[in-house]
Structure 1
């Protein structure tokens, strides 16, 4: 056996090993999760850049689908940064991440399906409710 395996086995069988693990766990919970301030400043900078880009879409006068696509893209990117870093979602378990992010994603899928179906519904209404000449 290697020295690390012997040390690990000794810790597992001794009551001091469990006490040491419990004490380390309590210290970790007491301190909380600490992230470097640089991370928050970088994210804040990206949020500023994305907001500027969002305002530039109106400044340059983009119209139609390009305008709305760019605005929605910048909005989703900003929301993703806020949720991931400021709401600490990047450090959560995967199950919790799926539980929070999957329902809005499915709602967007259903909205997209309704958008594609709306042309068909509009066509049927025009055909059946149009005045006969």
Structure 2
């Protein structure tokens, strides 16, 4: 089986939580690599923009009234997304580091991987 066929099969069999975990994991891995190599310039800006976009999508999913997550959890995710947006701007200006972004992403990964954890934003939407 070709690598592309394997990837396509994986996409069809993954749960929304697994897809979200994989996305956060990939972006976090890239942020760690950027930190470790002192990445600068356009490559860093593109990575930061990708992380920011992911958080904006999470926020939008939590703003949807059809989202089945508890209101307090949805509010917390929206609040984190706002913080990520502000902190990302500070990193882009050279006033902050990427380390706190890595920490927040790792905390989300732990929640997505946890046994008995709340459903992901995508799963909550489909359950409602």
TM-score in terms of structure 1 length: 0.31
More helix by share: 1
Give 1 or 2 for the bigger CA radius of gyration. 1
Query: Larger relative CO (CA 8 A, sep 6+): 1 or 2?
Result: 2
